[in-house]
Structure 1
Amino acid sequence: MSQATLGDDEELFGEAANEMREDVESSLEDAWDALPDAEAVWETDADNVLGVLNGLNSALNVGDAEEQLRDAKKWFTMGQRADAFEDADDLETEIEALDEAIEDISEAGEQVGELTSTIPALRGTLQDAGGEAEAEADDEDEE
């Protein structure tokens, strides 16, 4: 191989490494943007608890963030293995932070989902208990 070819290969590798870093950064930015808006999680227009929970459950959808994070991890891993990044600590830190945020949001969504399915049954139980208490009170009044 000639010296010129080796120089061209090094230049091409440098360009590829820069593009790979840009791809990781772009995917991370898209993932952060895909996360739920803080106000959507905090505010509600619901008339009852079930409406609040359903709205919150919808707001806690991470959307395309998981796919974007996966894409960032893929290119980051490829870049690390190729030793293409001079300094990748910032990317690794951001990937970890995003991964934790998505995990926290998903866990909260699961908890809200459980409450969403529990609250109607709890309401029915309390209504039944209230009806039984009223019936017992009526029976005592009749005696």
Structure 2
Amino acid sequence: MSQSSLDDDELFGEAANEMRTDVEESLAEARNALPAADSVWDVEADNTLGVLNSLKTALDVGDAEDHLRDAKKWYTMGERADAFEDADDLAEEIETIADLIDDVDDAREQVGDLTATIPQLRSTLEEFEGEDGADAEADGDADAEAEA
């Protein structure tokens, strides 16, 4: 084996290690960018809309998607170059984080829908209560006139 071939193998090995490290670092950054469990569970507000807005804010995945994309990019390059001896753990971690980001995004969307719906529902209920009160008042007036 020539010296050049030995150097190329050594360089390839270094590059493979650096790619794996890049994937691992990007996955760690994605994990860290996800919301903390307590920030989703413990929200404080004065009313339902405030709670929903706080929850929607807490469900922001931040830069997690960008970090996951970087991890996927380096992982794909490493896989295509056959640079990883065993990368099953990386593939599983990528899938786990991608699924979690999807779940958080879905929850955020549902909370957003509720945030848009609750004020209208409140308004409709207030109108209904007002009509109910007006009907009761009209019935009371009619009863008073009949007694007189």
TM range (shorter): over 0.9
Distance 1:73 1:20 in 2: 11
Distance 1:86 1:133 in 2: 73
Could you list the per-position Cα deviations for residues 12-49 of structure 1 after superposition, in whole angstroms to 9, with x for gaps in the alignment? 00000000000000000000000001111001220110
Kindly report structure 1 stretches of 4+ aligned residues shifted beyond 6 Å. none
TM-score (norm 2): 0.95
Partner of 1:112: 111
TM-score (norm 1): 0.98
Distance 2:116 2:94 in 1: 33
Runs of at least 5 residues in structure 2 that lack an aligned partner in the other structure: 143-148
Partner of 1:12: 11
Distance 1:70 1:37 in 2: 20
Could you list the per-position Cα deviations for residues 67-123 of structure 1 after superposition, in whole angstroms to 9, with x for gaps in the alignment? 000000000000000000000000000000000000000000000000000000000
Distance 1:21 1:45 in 2: 41
Runs of at least 5 residues in structure 1 that lack an aligned partner in the other structure: none
Distance 1:39 1:49 in 2: 19
How many residues in Structure 1 have an aligned counterpart in Structure 2?
142
Distance 2:48 2:29 in 1: 33
Partner of 2:127: 128
The percentage of aligned residue pairs carrying the same residue is 60
Distance 2:83 2:43 in 1: 46
Partner of 2:86: 87
Q: Which protein is bigger by CA-based radius of gyration?
A: 2
Give the SS at the match of 2:43: coil
Q: CA RMSD in A?
A: 0.7
Partner of 1:22: 21
Partner of 1:32: 31
